[in-house]
Amino acid sequence: MPALSFLFIAVFLGANAYFAYRVSILMRLITATHGPVWSGTRIDRIPDRIMTVLMNVLGQRAVLKKKNAGIMHATIFWGFLIITLETMENFGYELHPGFTFEFIGPTLFSALVTLQDVFTLGVLCAVCYAFYRRLILRPEGLGKSKDAIIILSLTGCLMLSLFMMRAFRLVAHPDWYDHYQFISVFLRNTFLEPLALSPETAGNISSVFRWIHHFLVLGFLCYIPSSKHLHVLTAGPNTFFRHLDGPKGMRKVNLEDETVTSFGVGKITDLSWKDTLDLFACTECGRCQDACPAHNTQKPLSPKAIIADLKDVLYHNKPAIMAGKPEEIGPVIGAKVTDDVIWACTSCRACEAACPVFIEQTDKIYEIRRNLVLMESRFPAELQIVFKNVENNFSPWAMSPDDRDKWADNLQIKTMAEIVASGEQVEYLFWVGCAGSFDDRNKKVSRALVSVLRKAGIKFAILGKEEKCTGDPVRRMGN
Ligand code: SF4
Ligand code: SF4
């Protein structure tokens, strides 16, 4: 084996060992969290989960919902898949000079060479567009990210090193699949042929660029676990463990369980493993922030920032977590995640619908609120009135519960109690809700719905004065 092969093995193993070490730290952080995972085990319906990964990761369906940025990302992603085969081939070459994937057959190998050539240019164009977007267009949701600039530069250099390696190789071996890598052939003909290099010199320069490519790939590997590009590793698992049918209400708590001493998320380790995986999966694309009504009306909340800030809180507490000293872990609420941010959320979940990697922002906000309210009695003064009204008047407003059925005056709608007493049957209970019962505008909706039901011949009843607030608004406020 040539001496250079040993050097390559040492560099390769070193980079992979460092990568494995960084990933093991991330795994420790994920497994250190102990909150309950909401909405099932997340390992049910395996075929559906595999399908969603195929559609949304391999197929980039969610990413492509946003046109230009989606095409850019998909090109880079698919390009990397194709080009990784060439990277593996190059690695193999260092161990066994002359190694190629030609054993897959001339037709397949020619197609692979062509795809690699085309996708290298595609990725390069996508990187240029990404720079244009970040530096010239500067959409607000993207924000400024040095990390992104480093990654884009690295990606661009990776593609350029490949083109250089191939073009010089085509000088050394002019007939080597030259009909199948027309972009590299164009580069050779335009820029290298005038230099009139000997085949040996060109071959050596090609090897230098192959080594540059190795170093860039392995450097990228080491950089991934601590960069925003971590989503390369985590977006797939996060998509696999997503809510398959969308979120179903809030996480349940058992207030009667006397063994439970804390509710909600007070410390970062109160999150669940899925919550922590969410933090590592964020691509910082800003789609959630663009969709957020709180952010768009100048509230201090950004769902993108919440995820990034919770990750910062996690990293800040990393020494205590790694040392197994839970008593030294600080509260989630602090300099990064502040009270006013947590209380600005309208709980609409628009952020979750927009997120291409299925991050669940809202449940984290609910759980932090729950801890503030149930453990610290800490919430905006305005909420005190709402909490009291729900407890005393059974609606968020200071309305008498005796007036709950006033909207139905003169409509002769029977209550469920009357139906039961008379032995009659109805098909439906019309649950009116607090707004439909007390809010002047919504009372008109309730009355109109009664007309529709009657016209449709549907038998229904209401609860009348027996109806009470479901408690949903105060649960969303953490109570
Ligand atoms: S759920 Fe909250 S954070 Fe998400 S979009 Fe709505 S207001 Fe914004
Ligand atoms: S949470 Fe999702 S939508 Fe928001 S920035 Fe991260 S990846 Fe993008």
Whole-number pLDDT of residue 37: 84
Index of the ligand 2 atom closest to the CA of residue 231: 7
Whole-number pLDDT of residue 249: 78
| 262 CA → ligand 1 middle, Å | 25
Give the ligand whose atoms come closest to the C-alpha of residue 293: 1
Whole-number pLDDT of residue 53: 97
DSSP percent split of the chain into helix, strand, coil, nearest 5: 65, 0, 30
| 238 CA → ligand 2 middle, Å | 12
Q: What is the CA radius of gyration of the chain?
A: 30
Whole-number pLDDT of residue 246: 76
Whole-number pLDDT of residue 164: 97
Nearest Cα to Cα of residue 267 among 323, 228, 325: 325
Region of 380 on the Ramachandran plot (φ > 0 left; ψ -120 to 50 alpha; else beta): beta
Going from N- to C-terminal start, the domains of the chain cover: 3-32+66-230, 268-379, 385-476
| 361 CA → ligand 1 middle, Å | 8
Task: Give yes or no for residue 301 CB within 6 A of ligand 1.
Answer: yes
Question: In whole angstroms, what separates CA 302 from the centre of its chain?
Answer: 14
Residues 6+ apart with CB under 8 A from 48: 244
Whole-number pLDDT of residue 429: 97
Whole-number pLDDT of residue 35: 86
Task: Give yes or no for residue 450 CB within 6 A of ligand 1.
Answer: no
Summarised one tens digit per residue, pLDDT across range 279-319 is 999 999 999 999 999 999 999 999 999 999 999 999 999 99
Index of the ligand 2 atom closest to the CA of residue 308: 6
Give the ligand whose atoms come closest to the C-alpha of residue 356: 2
pTM, to two decimals: 0.90
Whole-number pLDDT of residue 232: 94
Once rounded to an integer, what is the mean pLDDT over residues 410-423? 96
SS3 201: helix
CATH architecture of structural domain 268-379: Orthogonal Bundle (1.10)
Whether residue 2 is predicted with pLDDT greater than 80 in this model: the reply is no
Task: Give yes or no for residue 338 CB within 6 A of ligand 1.
Answer: no
pLDDT band at residue 446 under the 50/70/90 scheme: very high
Whole-number pLDDT of residue 51: 97
Task: Give yes or no for residue 289 CB within 6 A of ligand 1.
Answer: no
What are the φ/ψ torsions at residue 462 (nearest 5 degrees)?
Answer: -120, 170
| 248 CA → ligand 1 middle, Å | 16
Index of the ligand 2 atom closest to the CA of residue 283: 7
Per CATH, which fold does 3-32+66-230 belong to? Answer: Fumarate Reductase Cytochrome B subunit (1.20.950)
Choose the weakest-confidence range: 49-58, 65-74, 253-262. 253-262
CB 374 within 8 A of CB 263: yes
Question: In whole angstroms, what separates CA 382 from the centre of its chain?
Answer: 33
Whether residue 39 is predicted with pLDDT greater than 80 in this model: the reply is no
